[in-house]
Amino acid sequence: MKTKETTKPALLLSPHRLLETSILLQTLRIIKNNTSLNYEVGDMNTGELKNLFPEWPKEVLVSFREFGREAIDETRKAIRQKHTKQKAGMPFETYSRQALLRHYHQLFEKVKPFAPLAKWYHTKQLNGNKHYSTAPCSFSTFRPRLQFSVEKNGAALELRTLLELNCQLYPIETFFRQFYFLESNNEYFLLSFRDYQTLEWLQDQKPQQYSTNPAALAENILSHLEKDYPVNRNNLFDLQEIESLPVNRVLLSELSNTFLMLTPQWLYEGFVVDGPYQESLEILQNGEAYKIKRNKEQEQQFLQLLESLHPNFPKQANGYYYLSFADAQKKQWFLKTYHQLLTSDIELIGMDMLKHFRFSTHQAETSVKVLREEESKVVLGVSVTFGKEEVVLTELQKILWSGQRAVLLKDGSLGILGDPWLNQYGAIIKHGKVNKKEVTIARWMAITEQNGPGEEQVLGSSFKKEWWQRWQTWQSGGEQLFKVPAMINANLRPYQQKGYEWMRLLSEAGAGGCLADDMGLGKTLQAICFLVSEVEKEPTAKHIIICPSSLIYNWQQELEKFAPSVKTTVYHGGQRKTEQLQDGSVQVVITSYGTFRADAGNLLAIEYGAAIIDESHNIKNPSAQITKTVSTLQANNVFALSGTPVVNNTFDLYSQLNVVLPGMFGSREFFKREYADAIDKFGDEYKIQALQKLTAPFILRRTKEQVAVDLPEKTESILWCHMPAGQRELYEHIKSQVRSSLFLDISKQGFAKSKLAVIQGILKLRQICNSPLLLPEEERQPVESVKTKLLMDELSNILPAHKALVFSQFSSMLDILAEECDKAGIKYYHFDGQTPPLKRAEMVNAFQEEGNDVCLFLISLKAGNAGLTLTAADYVFLFDPWWNTAVQQQAIDRTHRIGQTKSVFAYKMICKDTIEEKIIRLQEKKKQLAEDLVSADEGFVKALNEEDIAYLFA
């Protein structure tokens, strides 16, 4: 019988060879007879392709021959030449790999439409081994698109990658991926190159590492994906709700190069909302999810206003309003509308993007004259003109507030405010109070001016020439400007001298400031030097220090130590008398925040020379009563002291700076919108630089690393505590009870309403870690506390050769430790929140005295984490972890500060495999938690989510 043989042409795809040999596509002859099936592979050259596919058009042949050996050699040669020519910073192998991947992707994009003209085969790996088989396949012209979904897998979060194909979603695991080729059931799909790069990036980032840390997953992974892809968060992340009155805004643009388009928009705390009304809207920003509750009434009122501007507008229901350019210019409609909108406090944006409008040939000419000075204010006469036309200042201010730089002039042209103009005059107009042709501005704005060569200093005349010379000398680090007052018994370090001079200079300018040096660098001494210089100038004047109650006697003692001739009085507590304030010989009044608020009537009746606001982050909330009360203080100069002026966000600066520089930063609403929202929510670099320029002269911050290079070494480590069997058994038993009860509460009431139960559950487990004796009496068991035993062992080794501080958040734990010390015959001092300030001061002084044989101090973390100097100690034990690493650091820095001569050793006592260890891990993962100063347990829990809770109680 004669053998019958047939030959069929096809294309052979081998994705695995893409980087091995670059032979990605070959011709294939399928030779079939009665007894066998054979394949002959050929090169993708012009002759071979013409023989196999004679019906192909020329353009198809040209495209496919790019996969041939000759073309491959040319491509490799071109890549090497380009690498050499560019002197590329990456190795040739890496460069070549990327270039080849992109080149072949472009080729496949080119030939994909022609895929149906041929039969396709592919080389497919057999069961994961090194052998490949040849089998039929097809090449789809459908484009797959990436989507992502976050799903819950037990207590963890899982990021799933999905592919949308022909309106259907498939998990990416359905496909076998080689580079940008996806294969399923012998059908191939080509990813876009961007999608391929995204999958490679995702593989490198390992999103599974954030499975128990939603905040990090959102920040490091989702925020990047959401820029380009749909990501379904499935309501697994906390939403920050925004409910406020919107700011009305109109976006001006051009439609079809024929119409002027007005799009109504609303700003909700910096977020732009437009389009048809819906009750709420979810927005993602930098990985954070926000839920904006829209205000229907306010939005409707705004739309009604816009529709009243032209008879055509009520008929238009497209979410925007439009007019032909001819209609917009008829009877100067646009010019009148422009002014009407600005007068109605409606923002206008997009002016400088309008191509149909010509730009004015004139540049902004600006004249500024100081008309008069009113205490801390300067009234300026300001004129801004383009050619012969003077711009209305109130309108100019509103344009600048909305971030625009184009002004509509009467001739229909746009006057542009360039960068030099904005740098020189922008802040003055924005921050000033405008009345017709006058701008009233805080005179201290003059100090922020940093003009280039040849630029006029607008506010420079507000201060005398001699002051400017001293200010420049201080900035350049020149000679000493002021001697330390003769009444001061101290030698200042160079940086302390600079801090004292900075306060003197600002005081001469009538300004205040915030001294924000690191803890332990001597802010108190610098402030005392300044106060004493004020006393020397005016011995009969009264000055005031406002501080936390725990620091009252510390201030009194420091004044007695460094300036014994200054007459001070402590106005605090039930023993205070109004006669103290009326005593003419008293030069410095020391009081607490609580007393100042309670006795504001008496304290605010006095005009003070200088005021010192210590630990000024206590007035960071502008709505708090204490902030409002301190803001009405009558003083020539006010200085704030704080190692942490920014606690949670940029807005924390506002109240503190508004007290020391009243009026300079405008209203709280202005500051929030102009700076805080733009910086904290959107990371606006321009606003960051603008605020830094404004605040730089008035905030002086030096770190220990910068100035206290002579401080001895500080060693921080964890003292791991392994629970004995009895304590471990009790811990696991209570944890099981707490967990089941807690998650039952969460399932019934929701997470938000279960915060108190979370706090109580965490508290109970932490108490067992410290000592089972802290539990309620009915739950106590006679089991040993590993921490107590370990601490007593450590103390027996270091005392009395060294002195030690022991901090705990639980005053009852300090009582237990005191009992243990009594049994062991160890002398100690002990104070907590109930200890009167005077008694605390006595103990601190005694502990610091040389030769004092009391070598141990038991201190409540909350009561003793600020303002105390305990440099006699060189060992610190943090008996239990605080939520906030900054607060822990403050406790350690009670001893690691100026005056310390010995190396300091600090130990965190942590029970292994317990909630304490997990808190430490959360602090490491949740950087924001570790950096923010959270004032209470509720604050910590507020920052947690349900996954964190599951992790803590796992």
562-596 pLDDT, tens digit each = 999 999 999 988 888 999 999 999 999 999 999 99
Is residue 457 included in any domain, yes or no?
A: no
Q: 818 phi and psi, to 5 degrees?
A: -60, -40
- What pLDDT does residue 933 have? 27
Is 154 or 382 the better-scoring residue by pLDDT?
Answer: 382
- Burial profile 457-472: b = 16 or more Cβ within 10 angstroms, e = fewer: ebbeebbeeeeeebbe
Domain shared by 311 and 377, yes or no: no
CB-based contacts of 494: which residues, under 8 Å, 6+ apart?
707
Q: What is the mean pLDDT of the chain?
A: 86
Domain shared by 681 and 633, yes or no: yes
Q: Which of 141-155, 163-177, 275-289, 604-618 has the lowest mean pLDDT?
A: 275-289
Domain shared by 628 and 736, yes or no: no
The amino acid at 894: R
Residue that terminates a domain, selected from 450, 476, 501? 450
CB-based contacts of 191: which residues, under 8 Å, 6+ apart?
144, 146, 180, 181, 182, 199
Domain shared by 790 and 837, yes or no: yes
Rounded-to-integer distance, Cα 649 and Cα 269, Å? 15
Domain shared by 627 and 520, yes or no: yes
Q: 917 phi and psi, to 5 degrees?
A: -65, -40
Is residue 390 included in any domain, yes or no?
A: yes
Domain shared by 724 and 827, yes or no: yes
Rounded-to-integer distance, Cα 439 and Cα 428, Å? 8
For residue 930, pLDDT over 50 is answered with no
- What pLDDT does residue 934 have? 30
Domain shared by 552 and 696, yes or no: yes
- What pLDDT does residue 660 have? 92
Is 903 or 303 the better-scoring residue by pLDDT?
Answer: 303
Q: Which of 128-132, 170-174, 361-365 has the lowest mean pLDDT?
A: 128-132
The amino acid at 364: A
- Domains of the chain: total: 6
- What pLDDT does residue 252 have? 93
% of the chain residues with pLDDT over 70: 92
Looking at residue 359, the DSSP 8-state letter turns out to be B
Domain shared by 478 and 555, yes or no: yes
Domain shared by 387 and 528, yes or no: no
Domain shared by 777 and 799, yes or no: yes
Residue that terminates a domain, selected from 401, 422, 450? 450
pLDDT band at 931, cuts 50/70/90? very low
Looking at residue 688, the DSSP 8-state letter turns out to be H
pLDDT tens digits, one per residue of 51-82: 999 999 998 999 999 999 999 999 989 888 88
- What pLDDT does residue 3 have? 63
pLDDT band at 460, cuts 50/70/90? low
Domain shared by 477 and 394, yes or no: no
Is residue 455 included in any domain, yes or no?
A: no
The model carries a pTM of 0.59
Is residue 183 included in any domain, yes or no?
A: no
Average of per-residue pLDDT across 240-267: 91
Beta-strand runs (E) in 443-499: none
Residue that terminates a domain, selected from 650, 685, 707? 707
Rounded-to-integer distance, Cα 212 and Cα 949, Å? 10
- What pLDDT does residue 553 have? 81
For 759, the domain range is 714-952
Rounded-to-integer distance, Cα 187 and Cα 135, Å? 11
Domain shared by 784 and 821, yes or no: yes
Is residue 179 included in any domain, yes or no?
A: no
pLDDT tens digits, one per residue of 850-864: 889 999 999 987 776
The amino acid at 559: L
Sheet of strand 37-42: strand arrangement: 37-42, 25-32, 6-13, 120-125, 132-139, 187-190, 181-184, 176-178
- CATH code of the domain in which 932 resides: 3.40.50.300
- Burial profile 192-213: b = 16 or more Cβ within 10 angstroms, e = fewer: eeebbebbeebeeeebeebbbb
- What pLDDT does residue 690 have? 86
Is residue 180 included in any domain, yes or no?
A: no
pLDDT tens digits, one per residue of 591-612: 999 999 999 999 999 999 999 9
- CATH code of the domain in which 623 resides: 3.40.50.10810
pLDDT tens digits, one per residue of 187-203: 999 999 999 999 999 99
Pick the closest to residue 349 from 261, 433, 422, 435 (CA basis): 261
Is residue 177 included in any domain, yes or no?
A: no
- What pLDDT does residue 486 have? 92
Is residue 128 included in any domain, yes or no?
A: yes
